[in-house]
């Protein structure tokens, strides 16, 4: 199960978690650095789901279904 943990990255690169995290074993994590001034959720869902959706979007059946919207070469 995945979950979102808010954190702050200091100028020297140290990561400071904004909540306590307890795990039963070491885990991999993805660190996404957000620009200041942007709503943290703006576009985040699309960014995080891009890889999974690309598998579906790039199927030959999808290309054929939407080919009528593509400009003629």
pLDDT category at 1 given cuts 50, 70, 90 is low
- Across 10-19, average pLDDT: 92
- Contact present, 58 and 64 (Cβ < 8 Å): no
CB atoms within 10 A of CB 44: 14
> Which residues in the chain belong to E strands, given as ranges?
7-9, 15-17
Q: Tens of pLDDT along 32-70?
A: 887 775 565 666 777 778 777 888 888 889 888 888 888
Between residues 41 and 29, which one has the greater pLDDT? Answer: 29
């Amino acid at each position: 199960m995945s979950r979102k943990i808010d954190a702050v990255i200091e100028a020297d690169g140290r990561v400071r978690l904004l909540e306590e995290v307890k795990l039963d074993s070491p885990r991999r994590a993805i660190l996404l650095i957000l620009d200041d001034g942007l709503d943290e959720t703006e576009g985040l869902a699309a960014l995080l789901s891009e890889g999974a959706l690309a598998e579906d979007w790039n199927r030959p059946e999808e290309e054929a279904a939407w080919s009528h919207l593509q400009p003629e070469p």
